Structure 1
Amino acid sequence: MALWNSVTGQLRSVIEWKNPAPGVLFERWTDNGDEIKNASKLIVGPGQGVIFVYEGKPQAAITEPGMTDLKTANIPFWTTITKFMQAFQSEHKVGIYFFRTAEILNQGWGTPGPIKYLDPQYKFPVGMRGYGNFSFRITDAGSFFVNIMGQRDELTIDELRTAIVARLVQPLTDFLAEAKFGYNEIDANRNEIADGVKEKVAPIFATLGFGLTDFRVENTDFDDDTKRRVGRVADMQAEAQAAQAVGVDFAKLQQLAALRDAAQNEGGAAGAGVGLGAGVGLGQAMAGMMSGMNTPQPATEDPVAKLSQLKQMLDNQLISQEEYDAKKQQILSQL
């Protein structure tokens, strides 16, 4: 019975990759062990390819659908007879590895943590996260087999996707450093970022036997530290513009705000003393500021903007109602 099973096994002559699992990218054919007989037929279906390994060395890569005759030193029946004392095992070993030639679409990627680079506008480091998707395909099956498959019998799409994502962080960091896109420019330049990263990784992946056919940046986000620092800068810029619009020096405005906060902090005797001193300073600063505000401003300034900024100062308790009314009347009298 063992002899007959070996003989019938050697007569098996049609090899094909039937119904591969959806997540498998590269897989060794094992239906008849590793003894493939002379003149066996290899059927390659649409979207498939085959690496033919003979006596430990890749011999050919077949990427076109169709039927191929396999030529080996194994001759049916004669091998069985000569190898009888070796339990019908032949030294002419072959391996047939099927793989997908079709494009693998819509694989998600994301940076595992914030990517740090120096923002050209704010002049401090920011941390950005990126998310998107990519597509890829095997372009050089021989290189892919040698560099990635190795001694594996199977490689899944998810395993390769994980390896690709791990190799995206450094090229993305390098591109952002070179492109010098500021915090407020990232979203408007997603396509440029995607094209730049794809160009950078192309030679790296080509040496491994595959390539990205598409790469997209779908969304970006910044870490909390970056958002907080940018928010503080934006607030200060808004205050500076508001002060300028009503003819107040920004430094004096900051001093006035600090004095106001100190005056409101009345805790115990020491606090009362600080509050008293701050109150005096507050009055002096207020007098100096209002003196500056009473200086006639160039007629070219927008009175509507000045009134708006003046109202904002009133709402923030930087000036009193009486001072607001006086300055408002002065602005209106210039119309």
Structure 2
Amino acid sequence: MALFKNQFANVVEWKEFRDDMIFWKWNNDEIKKGSKLIIRPGQDAIFLYNGKIEGIFQDEGEYDIETQIIPFLSTLKGFKFGFNTGMRAEVLFVNTKEFVVKWGTKNAINIPTPQLPGGMPVRSNGTFTFKVNDYVALIDKIAGVKNSYLVEDVKIRITAVLDELLMKWISKEGKDMFNLQANASEIGRGIKEDLDMKIIDDGMTITGFNIMSFNYPEEIQDMINKTASHSMIGDLGKYQQVSMVDGISSGKVKGGGTAADMAGMMMGMNIAKEMMENMNNNSNSNSNSNKKPNFCPNCGAKTEGANFCPNCGQKLA
């Protein structure tokens, strides 16, 4: 008799739980007498009746619907199961985790800049995070007409407006177009606020937006690297010498040995020239320091090249 009594009972649960699914709706015809509700970690269960929220259950575990769930429902708390009748209701399971999504620009974004008339072509990539924070809005805008919703659905919406927002926040005054990474945090905060306004009405919120890198065309990146090298070395002549040494040591200066030998000889000549100039400067400095004065610094008498002043005896050299 007990088997016959519960033969129509069902289990209300999110069986095929997916990490990339934001919500899933259980909408069988009826919840029968003796049915159970199972809530797993990372899930909330929302009972819906005629499209309205009847109750939200957040604690994981297994519950008897008749004795542990119905008494807490808004308009169904007095519902009594009949032998052949059940409760017609839907149960929306919501994934409560924070979702992490990778993003990247499909095409280069041309950012207006005075240095380049056609704009600076920039690519970028990073991550953003979001989660569900308003069940009423979620049901009103999305869950009311859909049985499930994926992270990919949100990603498509975000990436559709991301290029526009990147251009907006990169173009803000004071940004160094050749060192955008230095302003990545500020740009990311602005984009996060704008993206949050895009999805907040759907019951979700952007919890973070991170820019991993900005990427320039190869020729622009080479120019940036060379400019940085010049700044670090500080002198064009030294930069050329360092470049020559790098070319010889890396094997980039080739030509059957002749080119490398010529480069080495030129560098040797340059170094020898610098040494000779240094020696001449030192010699001139020494000769100037040993030159005898024509007049005594003590009494002013004419010295005529003597080592001592003939008038007062002051040592002159």
Query: How far does the alpha carbon of each residue in 1:130-173 deviate from its partner, in whole angstroms, 9 at most, with x for none?
Result: 10112221111221222233422122222222323323332222
Query: How far apart, CA to CA, are the structure 1 residues paired with 2:181 and 2:55?
Result: 46
Q: What is the aligned-residue RMSD (CA, Å)?
A: 4.2
1:69 to 2:69 alignment: yes
1:183 to 2:180 alignment: no
Amino acid at match of 1:95: E
Query: How far apart, CA to CA, are the structure 1 residues paired with 2:180 and 2:22?
Result: 34
Higher gyration radius (CA): 2
Indicate how the Cα distance of structure 1 residues 100 and 308 shifts in structure 2: closer, same or farther if over 3 A, else same. Answer: closer
5 Å-filtered alignment, 1:273-288, equals none
Contact 1:51 1:96 in 2 (8 A): yes
Contact 1:52 1:94 in 2 (8 A): yes
Contact 2:98 2:129 in 1 (8 A): yes
Per the normalisation by structure 1, the TM-score is 0.56
Of 143, 146, 155, 1:149 maps to: 143
Query: How far does the alpha carbon of each residue in 1:2-47 deviate from its partner, in whole angstroms, 9 at most, with x for none?
Result: xx999843x44x52324513432211114xx132357855343221
Indicate how the Cα distance of structure 1 residues 8 and 129 shifts in structure 2: closer, same or farther if over 3 A, else same. Answer: same
Contact 1:37 1:74 in 2 (8 A): no
Residue 21 of structure 2: aligned partner = 24
SS of the aligned residue for 1:178 comes to coil
1:138 to 2:132 alignment: yes
Contact 1:41 1:69 in 2 (8 A): no
Query: How far apart, CA to CA, are the structure 1 residues paired with 2:207 and 2:5?
Result: 45
1:200 to 2:194 alignment: yes
Query: How far apart, CA to CA, are the structure 2 residues paired with 1:219 and 1:113?
Result: 15
Residue 158 of structure 1: aligned partner = 152
1:114 to 2:111 alignment: no
Query: How far does the alpha carbon of each residue in 1:68-111 deviate from its partner, in whole angstroms, 9 at most, with x for none?
Result: 5034376433654xxxxxxxxx8x64211111001123x21012
Which 5+ residue runs of structure 2 have no aligned equivalent?
244-269, 282-317
Residue 29 of structure 2: aligned partner = 34
Indicate how the Cα distance of structure 1 residues 38 and 172 shifts in structure 2: closer, same or farther if over 3 A, else same. Answer: farther
Which 5+ residue runs of structure 1 have no aligned equivalent?
81-89, 239-301, 313-324
Query: How far apart, CA to CA, are the structure 2 residues paired with 1:34 and 1:79?
Result: 13
Indicate how the Cα distance of structure 1 residues 54 and 125 shifts in structure 2: closer, same or farther if over 3 A, else same. Answer: same
Equivalenced residue count is 235
Q: Which has the larger share of helix?
A: 1
Residue 257 of structure 2: aligned partner = none
Residue 227 of structure 1: aligned partner = 220
Of 97, 103, 123, 2:98 maps to: 103
SS of the aligned residue for 1:112 comes to coil
Query: How far apart, CA to CA, are the structure 2 residues paired with 1:202 and 1:143?
Result: 14
SS of the aligned residue for 1:219 comes to strand
Amino acid at match of 2:122: M
Amino acid at match of 2:82: F
Query: How far does the alpha carbon of each residue in 1:274-329 deviate from its partner, in whole angstroms, 9 at most, with x for none?
Result: xxxxxxxxxxxxxxxxxxxxxxxxxxxx9x867988xx9xxxxxxxxxxxx9xx99
Percent of matched pairs sharing the same residue:
24
Q: CA deviation at 1:120?
A: 5.7
